Structure 1
Amino acid sequence: MKASDETYVTPIYILSGFLGSGKTTLLAKLIDYWQEAGLKPAVIMNELGDVNLDGLLVKQEVPMEEMLGGCICCSIRGDLGVTIHELIQKEHPDLIVVEATGAANPMELLDGVTETALYMKLDIRPLITVVDSAYLMELFDRQQGKTYRLMQEQIRCASVLILNKTDLLDSSRMQELLKLLNQSNPYAKKIPAVKCEVDLAELLVEGEGAQGATDEAGDQNLSQTHSHYGQSDSHNHNYTHNHSHSSHSHDHSHEHSHDHGQDPHGHDHHHTHSHVMVHTHYLSGPVDSKAFEQLIAELPRDVYRAKGVLTFSDTSSRFLFQYAYREPDFMKITPQGDIPDVVVFIGEHFDKEELSEKLKALEAGTLLAE
């Protein structure tokens, strides 16, 4: 039964997880899985900034709607229902995946999808959260910060937890992670992973009950994960794209500081991503690769995520750039359409003016690599 049938109920998956946890990597694997099964998936991708760079990793034949410039659970939440409706009417997908910005509170996002389901035939599937295992434990050691509290919310709301980057934890730290997760959410299915390599059939099965409910069970899952799914991703995601992106000729900065007060029931609606800052910078032309790498290496720790599309003056290819927790990554891409060179930085209370000046020096060629 296709989504074009009036009686068809469209499954909708919500993909949550903090910035850099691996959500888009998992999304690419899920798209391959569904397409191999003969299904037509569609994607709604949300970004805090003005440009959807993660969307470049989605195959061009996959219908995708972009919700940019705000968090679905906040400033553009009212547009979510319209976006879902238009996507179904235009593309007739077999299923939809909503990948929220890593700064989103998934409970409020779930509320937004639920509101849409009141007047559309949607089958809301269990919420999936990708956990950056190593970074979560780093924050757990400090026991403070809004980022840690947001990650806890994303964990508590999930029906399935992908414990990603477990290769960065030793066995004792893995036991601490499992204990923490079982305290926060003892009911979620817990699947350890490296580079989001998981059994997707197991991931998508509903009603199996909690996995890894004890430290021993979780440790057994970990050993199975390393033996079966610990290899590097063998899929080729170096696609060409023709998703439409609007271009701008100036620099944008956004700071989210919304406070929705309390509702009559006493629930606190102060958004946990009020500390998150987004700085978008459109480059005027090619830049030196070594100088750019130096700029990235010197980023303050308060910048925990960055991404961009770049042209280097000393190479012939364009690159998709990604950065998460001090680790940069570059991938050659051949984007189609009018996609400008742009870099986006996400973090907490970093000095945007200082960063902007360094980027201008990079463009002018005065930021020289050592």
Structure 2
Amino acid sequence: MLQSVPIHIFSGFLGSGKTTLLKKTLDYYTESGKKPVVIMNEIGEINLDGMIIGEEVPMAEMLSGCICCTIRGDLSMAIKNLYTEHQPDVIFIESTGIANPMEIMEGVTDASLLMPVVLKSIVTVVDAPHLLSLSQKPRRKTSALMKEQIRCASLVILNKADKVSTEELDELDRLIRAWNPFALIEITVYCQLDLQILESLNDLPAGRTVEEKCKAACGSEQGQACDHRHAAPDDKAHHHHHTHDHVIAYTHYFNRPIDLDKFEEVIRSLPQQVYRAKGIVQTTDGESTMHHLFQYAYRELEFMNLRIKPKVAVQNVAVFIGENFSKDDVIQALDKI
């Protein structure tokens, strides 16, 4: 009997730590002598997170859209191409932070009709302080999406635990268990955990598939279809409504090296509605050009010097993702740098 290749979906809202987890996971599997491949999805025009993935790991990029809607039809083909070309031991899909994992599963199911692959888990990474904030002051669409991502998970990683108190962690644990009593919960900082847990997720109990676990978490009765929307009671939208249609992604290209101090000042003054920003910006000391990878999530900014081979062309670019923010205001601020 032909051995099926396991597929793991990494889900989680913007800035939760999915790429950090993916990098650690790929290193773990590679060092264990296994061959992973990865599909990375960005809502923007450039896959910045993919630049930190080692060249030894085959990767497919799905850009300018969300897997669960505008480019879902391409997902099964991306899986097929990676499987055919590289014969991997395991496939990882990192979805954009606004994706509904249940709808991603449809693309994986399509792929399973073409080749021996099987969905083994959905791993949802949760930003602890962000979930705490939403639990205290819900935003209907964002809260509904995060609940959806948690409800469908086989494993929930409650990340950034150092940013909340022990009592708040207990509160979040109870909330997650109320939404999904079937998932394993791991509490982490920088997604640091024993990655052997992913191996155990390859052995789901007989008769309990990922789909069945999600249906049980939804409260659907046996044999009854679940629409997996979990909308608020006053939501009268049709089933094709997506919970992230309020999300804005803006990609800004710089045409010259910038002043890093001024750029940091702009980033730290971004409106609250900008949840996530990331990019590679160029600076110069008059003699040489330097590149800096930056990550911004929920008011926290981090820079990392990026060593790039001379033959590799690198964009001078920043991507901003959030809810209903003014792109014009962001553009005006960046143009003044």
TM-score, normalization: structure 1?
A: 0.78
Deviation at 1:106, TM superposition (A): 0.6
One-letter identity of the residue aligned with 1:277: I
Q: Secondary structure at the match of 2:193?
A: coil
Is residue 54 from structure 1 mapped to residue 41 from structure 2 by the alignment? no
Cα separation, partners in 2 of 1:278 and 1:28, compared to 1, 3 Å: same
Deviation at 1:267, TM superposition (A): 7.2
Q: Secondary structure at the match of 1:191?
A: strand
Contact 1:40 / 1:93 at 8 angstroms: preserved in 2? yes
Residue aligning to 2:250: 279
After TM superposition, list the pairs within 5 Å mapping 1:1-370 onto structure 2. 7-206=2-201, 268-314=239-285, 316-336=289-309, 337-362=312-337
One-letter identity of the residue aligned with 1:321: F
Contact 2:44 / 2:249 at 8 angstroms: preserved in 1? yes
Structure 2 Cα separation of the partners of residues 182 and 92 of structure 1 = 37
Deviation at 1:206, TM superposition (A): 2.9
Structure 1 Cα separation of the partners of residues 204 and 187 of structure 2 = 16
Deviation at 1:180, TM superposition (A): 0.5
Residue aligning to 1:228: none
One-letter identity of the residue aligned with 1:41: P
Q: CA RMSD in A?
A: 1.9
Q: Secondary structure at the match of 1:28?
A: helix
Structure 2 Cα separation of the partners of residues 99 and 286 of structure 1 = 31
Deviation at 1:317, TM superposition (A): 2.5
Q: Could you tell me the percent identity over the aligned residues?
A: 48
One-letter identity of the residue aligned with 2:279: G
Structure 1 Cα separation of the partners of residues 84 and 73 of structure 2 = 18
Residue aligning to 1:220: none
Contact 1:276 / 1:347 at 8 angstroms: preserved in 2? yes
Number of positions where the alignment pairs a residue of Structure 1 with one of Structure 2: 302
Q: Secondary structure at the match of 2:336?
A: helix
Gaps of 5+ in 1: 1-5, 211-265, 363-370
Deviation at 1:316, TM superposition (A): 4.8
One-letter identity of the residue aligned with 2:272: R
One-letter identity of the residue aligned with 1:325: Y
Q: Secondary structure at the match of 1:13?
A: strand
Q: Secondary structure at the match of 2:148?
A: helix
Contact 1:188 / 1:209 at 8 angstroms: preserved in 2? no
Contact 2:76 / 2:111 at 8 angstroms: preserved in 1? yes
Contact 2:39 / 2:92 at 8 angstroms: preserved in 1? yes
Q: Secondary structure at the match of 1:268?
A: coil
Q: Secondary structure at the match of 2:307?
A: strand
Contact 1:289 / 1:313 at 8 angstroms: preserved in 2? no
